[in-house]
Structure formats: structure tokens, C-alpha cells
Amino acid sequence: LDRIAETEPSIHALITVREQALEEARALDAQGPDASKPLWGVPVTVKDAIVTKGTRTTAGSKILGGFNPFYDAFVVERLKEAGAVIIAMGSSTENSAFGPTRNPRDPERIPGGSSGGSAASVAANQCYASLGTDTGGSIRQPAALCGCVGLKPTYGRVSRYGVIAYGSSLDQVGPLARTVEDAALVLSVIAGHDKRDSTSSPRPV
């Protein structure tokens, strides 16, 4: 959170910083480390098009400026089950109603879109990893421009339940991280069948 406060004025990668994050982290501390939770205590950000219970989720639009979801997206459920602490919601960059995101490597350059906030938050060391959504390059392009790792999973590998879609027949949620190993770990957490998404693959992870 200190790193976010330090870097946000120049980067603007995030729309909402979750007030609940510290409380959730303290609850994890009270429980103690849990080897069954591969992301125990790890700070993660998610794109502002992935609904998170009780946290403003806008998809970068003023129309949704007051939208506080009453449920978690499948991938958010998975992150929480794995012990991650979701600290903020990333913006969708150039065309966001909340203002553009800057590339942490060079603030005069764009971070790419539409998951530019997610890529920028990783590149600026605001988090360990982030989730974005990819329709036709929206994870991979920002990852390339910001110098981090981004992966669009095979369609159906990750549930789209709770995702505000750009193109529902194309969108996939995927990880952004600083290393391939970190991206693989996050994917292993969010992948899997979800009966609430009819296109979700039943194949084993």
C-alpha cells in the first residue's frame, strides 16, 4: 500500500484501492501460514472489469461509478481461497473515464490496453501479480509494453463468471506477473471448471 501511494500519482494504474485489504491481511496473519494456500498473504490486483464483492467495479466507465458487486467473480473466489490479498482494481488506460494510465518504464508512453492498469501495477511493483482480461491481445500487448509476463489462457480454461465482457465469445481472464513461474502459479489457482459458465472446460487442470 505504501508503494501504491508512492507510485500512483505518476502511474495511475488503479481506480480503487480496497480498504478491506489490510483487514483481510490481518485475518490471514492471525490464522498463520497455510501451506495449502499457494498465494497465502500475497498482494494481487485485478482489472476493474472483474467483479469483487463489496468493492467498486467500474470497467473504467462513469456509468458503473457507483457499482458495488454483491458477489465475487469465479477468479476472485479462487484467489481468496488461495490466500491472496486483493489490494486494488486496475484501470483500463487511455479511454478510461477515470483518466489514462502511464507506463511505469516511461511515463511519457502508454502501457497498452485494455489491461494496461494490471500490467502497469505489476511493472511498478505495486503487487506480486495481477489479473487482466484478453479479447484480442488485451493482456499480451500491455505485458509486452510494460516489460512483464502476460498470458491469455485457452478459451474455457478459466471461467468468465463475474467478468464484465468486451467480447464474450473471445474474452479470457489471465495472469500478469514479473516471471513465467509466477504467471504459471497464478494460472494454476484461477484455472478450472465452473458450472456457472457454460463455456468453462471440464478438462483437468
Cα-only R_g, the chain? 15
Residue ranges in the chain modelled with pLDDT below 50: none
Cell of 117: 492498469
pLDDT of 94 reads 67
Residues involved in catalysis: 47, 114, 138
Q: Hey, what's the cell of 62?
A: 462513469
The predicted model scores a pTM of 0.94
Please tell me the distance from the alpha carbon of residue 32 to that of residue 26, in angstroms, as a whole number. Answer: 10
Q: Which of 74, 188, 170 is nearest to 129 (CA)?
A: 188
pLDDT at residue 91 in the model: 62
